[in-house]
Structure 1
Amino acid sequence: MDDNHTRSTPYRTHRTAGGTTVVTLRGELDVMTAPSLTARLDALASGPLPDLVLDLRPVSFIDCAGLGVLCRVRNRVKARNGRLRLVTNSSQFLRILRHTELTGVFDIGSRLPEEAAGTPVADSVSASAD
């Protein structure tokens, strides 16, 4: 990685559609972006019955710290009797989940859920600078 490479905060905003909070993650989910992303997702999952959708389709890289963030938010959502869904069409990410035996842990789809799909995608969370 280039020494001049700078990373942005892994979130800017999120959007809510029909009671579902949709967060589009972009770039890299790694040890550098995990702390701020964890803080933002913890806040979004803090209420009763959180319904979160994490759109991972624009994510270009995820390491064990990124997987840790996903597991943490899943556990927080589940503890509050909520729902977490991941959206990805990355065969590489699905392979990582298989190898780490996390495939059955997450609710995974290749498209946004119907209740969130009709809302314009205006807000996103950037995991790293483009």
Structure 2
Amino acid sequence: MGEAEHHYSLKVRIADHGHCTVLTVSGRLDRVSAPVMTAYVDAVWDGTPGPHLVLDLRRVTGCDYYGAGVFAHMVYRAEQRPQAAIVLVGIGGRVQRMLSRTGLVQKFAHAASLKQACAALAAPPVGAGAAERQHLNRLS
């Protein structure tokens, strides 16, 4: 798909893997960049069936409450589409602390690597939801 960099140090690369879309994010998720990140998520969400999203967050350098709002937005969108799946890769440090502080960390599946996340989403069983999330969390 593509890559974009903005003057406020958020960089998003979008890659279509057929069965899932990977958003590789680097920089800060904060008051300035959160609306841009939300727009990327919405564009991918609205443009793909499912959707099955993998967010590679290994290069995210910071996350404030506005950044956490992006994740809350994803939870809301996922609740509207039961077939949706979102897997976070590489949450740690500031991102994990913020998601834990806001209670959002347990709302997402986690994987230790992009390879694991994409493989898990390759052919998810119908209605996997919570069971799939637990399986992915055990992988990380």
**Structure 2-normalised TM-score?**
0.68
2:136 alignment counterpart: none
Higher mean C-alpha deviation, range 19-28 or range 94-103: 94-103
Residue 114 of structure 2: SS of its match in structure 1?
coil
2:23 alignment counterpart: 23
1:94 alignment counterpart: 96
Question: What fraction of aligned residue pairs are identical, expressed as a percent?
Answer: 34
For the Cα contact (< 8 Å) 1:17–1:115, is it kept in 2?
A: no
Tell me how far 1:59 sits from its aligned partner. Answer: 0.2
1:103 alignment counterpart: 105
Residue 19 of structure 1: SS of its match in structure 2?
coil
Alignment of 1:104-123 (within 5 A): 104-114=106-116, 116=118
For the Cα contact (< 8 Å) 2:87–2:117, is it kept in 1?
A: no
Tell me how far 1:115 sits from its aligned partner. Answer: 6.5
For the Cα contact (< 8 Å) 1:28–1:61, is it kept in 2?
A: yes
Cα deviation code 1:56-102 (max 9, x no counterpart) = 00000011111111121232133122101111151443233222222
Structure 2: runs of 5 or more not aligned? 1-6, 120-140
1:84 alignment counterpart: 86
Q: Which has the higher helix share?
A: 2
In 2, Cα distance between the equivalents of 1:84 and 1:26?
A: 18
Query: Once superposed, what is the RMSD of the aligned Cα atoms?
Result: 2.1
Amino acid at match of 1:23: L
For the Cα contact (< 8 Å) 2:30–2:65, is it kept in 1?
A: yes
Residue 58 of structure 1: SS of its match in structure 2?
strand
Alignment of 1:1-130 (within 5 A): 6-7=7-8, 10-11=11-12, 13-46=13-46, 47-80=48-81, 81-114=83-116, 116=118
Residue 101 of structure 1: SS of its match in structure 2?
coil
Structure 1: runs of 5 or more not aligned? 1-5, 118-130
For the Cα contact (< 8 Å) 1:14–1:21, is it kept in 2?
A: yes
Q: Name which structure has the greater RCO, CA cutoff 8 Å, separation 6+.
A: 1
**Structure 1-normalised TM-score?**
0.73
